[in-house]
Amino acid sequence: MSATSVSIEDQRDVLLAWCSPIADEQFLLQNTKLTTLEWEKLQSFIANRRRIEWLTTRWLLQQTRFKEETIDYHQSGKPVLNNSDLSISISHCKEIVAIAIHTKGKAIGIDCETIESRILKIKHKFTNVQEFSHINKNELENLSLVWCAKEALFKLYA
Protein backbone atom coordinates (compact mmCIF):
# COMPACT_ATOMS: atom_id res chain seq x y z
CA MET A 1 0.00 0.00 0.00
CA SER A 2 1.28 3.43 -0.80
CA ALA A 3 1.13 5.87 2.05
CA THR A 4 -2.24 7.50 2.35
CA SER A 5 -2.38 11.25 2.44
CA VAL A 6 -2.53 12.41 6.04
CA SER A 7 -3.27 16.01 6.94
CA ILE A 8 -2.24 17.30 10.34
CA GLU A 9 -2.73 20.81 11.66
CA ASP A 10 -1.02 21.27 15.00
CA GLN A 11 -1.56 24.80 16.25
CA ARG A 12 -1.58 26.24 19.73
CA ASP A 13 -3.80 24.04 21.87
CA VAL A 14 -5.53 21.99 19.17
CA LEU A 15 -4.34 19.24 16.86
CA LEU A 16 -6.51 18.21 13.91
CA ALA A 17 -5.66 15.15 11.83
CA TRP A 18 -7.56 13.54 9.00
CA CYS A 19 -7.19 11.07 6.14
CA SER A 20 -9.26 8.82 3.93
CA PRO A 21 -10.22 5.49 5.48
CA ILE A 22 -7.54 2.92 4.63
CA ALA A 23 -9.27 -0.02 2.95
CA ASP A 24 -6.23 -2.30 3.27
CA GLU A 25 -6.82 -3.99 6.63
CA GLN A 26 -3.54 -5.90 6.42
CA PHE A 27 -1.64 -2.61 6.08
CA LEU A 28 -3.46 -1.27 9.14
CA LEU A 29 -2.80 -4.40 11.17
CA GLN A 30 0.91 -4.35 10.27
CA ASN A 31 1.34 -0.62 10.89
CA THR A 32 -0.80 0.07 13.94
CA LYS A 33 0.30 -0.76 17.45
CA LEU A 34 -2.67 -2.17 19.40
CA THR A 35 -2.96 -3.04 23.06
CA THR A 36 -4.37 -6.39 24.17
CA LEU A 37 -7.69 -4.71 24.95
CA GLU A 38 -7.74 -3.08 21.52
CA TRP A 39 -7.10 -6.44 19.83
CA GLU A 40 -10.03 -7.90 21.77
CA LYS A 41 -12.26 -4.98 20.79
CA LEU A 42 -11.25 -5.32 17.13
CA GLN A 43 -12.33 -8.97 17.16
CA SER A 44 -15.84 -7.93 18.23
CA PHE A 45 -16.47 -5.97 15.01
CA ILE A 46 -18.29 -7.95 12.36
CA ALA A 47 -18.76 -5.21 9.75
CA ASN A 48 -15.65 -4.66 7.65
CA ARG A 49 -16.34 -0.92 7.28
CA ARG A 50 -16.48 -0.52 11.08
CA ARG A 51 -13.18 -2.42 11.48
CA ILE A 52 -11.51 -0.20 8.87
CA GLU A 53 -12.77 3.04 10.46
CA TRP A 54 -11.75 1.89 13.93
CA LEU A 55 -8.29 0.78 12.81
CA THR A 56 -7.74 3.88 10.65
CA THR A 57 -8.56 6.07 13.66
CA ARG A 58 -5.87 4.39 15.75
CA TRP A 59 -3.37 4.42 12.86
CA LEU A 60 -4.08 8.14 12.33
CA LEU A 61 -3.50 8.93 16.02
CA GLN A 62 -0.14 7.15 15.77
CA GLN A 63 0.85 9.47 12.91
CA THR A 64 0.67 12.44 15.29
CA ARG A 65 2.93 13.51 18.13
CA PHE A 66 0.53 11.62 20.44
CA LYS A 67 1.44 8.22 18.98
CA GLU A 68 1.95 6.69 22.43
CA GLU A 69 -1.62 7.47 23.52
CA THR A 70 -4.38 4.87 23.31
CA ILE A 71 -8.06 5.54 22.76
CA ASP A 72 -10.59 4.24 25.23
CA TYR A 73 -14.21 5.19 25.84
CA HIS A 74 -15.95 6.74 28.82
CA GLN A 75 -19.12 4.98 30.00
CA SER A 76 -21.03 7.74 28.14
CA GLY A 77 -19.41 6.58 24.90
CA LYS A 78 -17.17 9.64 24.56
CA PRO A 79 -13.63 8.75 23.47
CA VAL A 80 -10.80 9.49 25.90
CA LEU A 81 -7.04 9.14 25.73
CA ASN A 82 -5.78 6.78 28.45
CA ASN A 83 -3.62 8.18 31.21
CA SER A 84 -3.80 11.64 29.75
CA ASP A 85 -5.23 15.07 30.37
CA LEU A 86 -5.70 15.48 26.62
CA SER A 87 -9.22 15.68 25.22
CA ILE A 88 -10.13 13.89 21.96
CA SER A 89 -13.02 13.81 19.54
CA ILE A 90 -13.34 11.34 16.66
CA SER A 91 -15.44 11.34 13.52
CA HIS A 92 -15.59 9.18 10.42
CA CYS A 93 -17.73 8.77 7.36
CA LYS A 94 -17.31 7.10 3.97
CA GLU A 95 -14.71 9.61 2.83
CA ILE A 96 -12.78 10.71 5.90
CA VAL A 97 -11.52 9.75 9.34
CA ALA A 98 -10.78 12.71 11.59
CA ILE A 99 -9.56 13.34 15.11
CA ALA A 100 -9.33 16.54 17.11
CA ILE A 101 -7.21 16.75 20.26
CA HIS A 102 -7.21 19.62 22.74
CA THR A 103 -3.79 19.63 24.36
CA LYS A 104 -4.98 21.52 27.46
CA GLY A 105 -7.74 19.02 28.18
CA LYS A 106 -10.63 21.29 27.25
CA ALA A 107 -13.64 19.59 25.70
CA ILE A 108 -13.57 19.38 21.91
CA GLY A 109 -15.95 18.15 19.25
CA ILE A 110 -15.55 17.29 15.57
CA ASP A 111 -17.88 15.81 12.98
CA CYS A 112 -17.67 14.95 9.31
CA GLU A 113 -20.42 13.69 7.06
CA THR A 114 -20.83 12.61 3.49
CA ILE A 115 -23.29 14.90 1.74
CA GLU A 116 -26.21 12.66 0.83
CA SER A 117 -29.85 13.34 -0.02
CA ARG A 118 -31.12 11.13 2.80
CA ILE A 119 -30.56 14.06 5.17
CA LEU A 120 -33.51 15.80 3.51
CA LYS A 121 -35.83 13.14 4.95
CA ILE A 122 -34.80 13.87 8.55
CA LYS A 123 -34.24 17.64 8.45
CA HIS A 124 -37.30 18.18 10.68
CA LYS A 125 -35.55 16.18 13.41
CA PHE A 126 -32.54 18.48 13.77
CA THR A 127 -33.65 21.90 12.51
CA ASN A 128 -36.47 24.07 13.72
CA VAL A 129 -38.59 26.34 11.53
CA GLN A 130 -36.50 29.42 12.32
CA GLU A 131 -33.21 27.66 11.49
CA PHE A 132 -34.62 26.09 8.36
CA SER A 133 -35.91 29.44 7.08
CA HIS A 134 -32.28 30.55 6.69
CA ILE A 135 -31.47 27.56 4.50
CA ASN A 136 -32.82 28.38 1.07
CA LYS A 137 -29.81 28.03 -1.20
CA ASN A 138 -27.79 24.82 -1.47
CA GLU A 139 -30.24 23.04 0.84
CA LEU A 140 -28.40 19.72 0.84
CA GLU A 141 -24.99 21.21 1.61
CA ASN A 142 -26.33 23.65 4.21
CA LEU A 143 -28.37 20.99 6.01
CA SER A 144 -25.25 18.82 6.10
CA LEU A 145 -23.31 21.73 7.59
CA VAL A 146 -25.98 22.30 10.26
CA TRP A 147 -25.98 18.57 11.09
CA CYS A 148 -22.17 18.57 11.44
CA ALA A 149 -22.16 21.67 13.61
CA LYS A 150 -24.79 20.28 15.95
CA GLU A 151 -23.12 16.87 16.11
CA ALA A 152 -19.77 18.52 16.95
CA LEU A 153 -21.48 20.51 19.72
CA PHE A 154 -23.14 17.35 21.01
CA LYS A 155 -19.70 15.71 21.18
CA LEU A 156 -18.23 18.82 22.79
CA TYR A 157 -20.76 18.73 25.61
CA ALA A 158 -20.95 14.91 25.80
pLDDT band at 77 (very low <50, low <70, confident <90, very high): confident
The three-class DSSP label of residue 61 is: helix
Count the neighbouring beta carbons within 10 Å of the beta carbon of residue 108: 22
90-128 per-position pLDDT tens digit:
999 989 999 999 999 899 999 999 999 999 899 888 888
What percentage of the chain exceeds 70 in pLDDT? 97
pLDDT band at 3 (very low <50, low <70, confident <90, very high): low
Q: Where do the H-state alpha helices sit in the chain?
A: 25-31, 36-44, 48-61, 123-126, 129-133, 139-157
> Is 137's pLDDT higher than 80?
no
Cα separation, 78 vs 158, whole angstroms? 7
Cα separation, 97 vs 130, whole angstroms? 32
Q: What is the pLDDT of residue 99?
A: 98
Between residues 120 and 3, which one has the greater pLDDT? 120
Q: What is the pLDDT of residue 33?
A: 96
25-76 per-position pLDDT tens digit:
999 999 999 999 999 999 999 999 999 999 999 999 999 999 999 999 888 8
Q: What is the pLDDT of residue 117?
A: 92
Mention every residue, 6+ apart, whose C-beta is less than 8 A from residue 121. none
Q: What is the pLDDT of residue 2?
A: 45
Query: DSSP assignment, residue 109?
Result: -
Between residues 138 and 7, which one has the greater pLDDT? 7
- Range list of β-strands (E), 1-122: 6-11, 14-19, 71-73, 79-81, 87-92, 97-102
